[in-house]
Amino acid sequence: MQRAYVKDVTIIGGGPAGLYSAFYSGLRGMDVRLIEAREELGGKVCLFKEKMIWDAGGQPPVQGGIFAGQLVEQANTFGPEILTGRKVTEIRRAPDGLFEVEASDGVIYPSRSVIMANGGGIVTPQKLKLSGAAAAEMDNLYYTVPSIAQFRGQTVLISGGGDAAVDWAAEFLGIAKEIILVHRRDNFCAHEAQVEKVREGGVRVVLNAAIHRLVSDVSKTKIECVELRDSRTEETYRLAVDSVLVSHGFEMDAELEFEGAAEPEREDGHFFLGTAEADTTVPGIFAAGDCLKYAGKVNLLVGAFQDAVNAVNRAKMFVDPDAHERGMVSSHNDRFKERNRRIIRQIAGVE
């Protein structure tokens, strides 16, 4: 099995917590590697690229896709090694004290410390298990929204009863010609204010019904009609549509093995039990973001960033016991002096 070069820290996961960990590790002068299972960086933020993010400190309202791009740009500030499209399968402690991170590409990535930032695992939208669904993904069947504008003037059927489905129905108001919101139960499990908004906005709400069949055109890829089945009467009926958006939640692949003494204590088979300083129960393995549990945990983006800073500071001291326990603020940090001078000169129009 191929063996890569040793790094000071290996970060598992390329969502907000992982990306900020990569940036802050570089700020603290660490040699960094980040491994992400998906081809795209940004984590769950990338599943809602068109939605607005309001709760990141100092950041004006920004679309998720733009925000993810900003996180990636920041993460690359100090030139970390970022590997995508490979899933970490096992982490173990080698006899020499290093952590061996084994991935699906058949490579072992040795590291002096590890930061787990894998959120709830590999997140994939739950897909329709119906004939023709896979082919329709090439045309007008969606599980995420690439661009709201592309639904302008269309009849859009949204299947789902949670916050995501109802929120998208609200977002499409004034964009789509007709919005049909289909839910298999008789009540939504979404925020009441949003439910009221879609009802008052003229969204056609169909309860106690589910998609039974997709009716495609001659190309076998474009859905022309959706056949619904009433769960109370078992009757079926068809609705003509231009697009279908399925919002049935997500499947989480949280399978990751730890060998022997390298296995931290976990809850529900996934969440790492730790401290507010980002320690897990295994020295040298730290955690940040949604995968870490401790008293007073803040499950927001700002909480993920604080976890990341703490995890990096702890990893730095683990790798270098003589290191300072905190990084310097950017305005006083030597690593930014030349960059700051260059940016200031650009703002002044000197360069």
Which residues carry a binding-site annotation for FAD? 36, 44, 48, 88, 290, 331
Q: What string of DSSP letters covers 14-38?
A: -SHHHHHHHHHHHHTT--EEEEESS
Annotated binding site: 36, 44, 48, 88, 290, 331
d(CA 320, CA 322): 5
d(CA 317, CA 101): 20
d(CA 257, CA 99): 13
How many Cβ atoms from other residues are within 10 Å of residue 247's Cβ? Answer: 24
First to last CA, the chain: 49
Q: What is the DSSP letter of 279?
A: B
Instruction: Tell me the C-alpha to C-alpha distance, in Å, between residue 313 and each of 21, 91, 277.
Output: 10, 21, 9
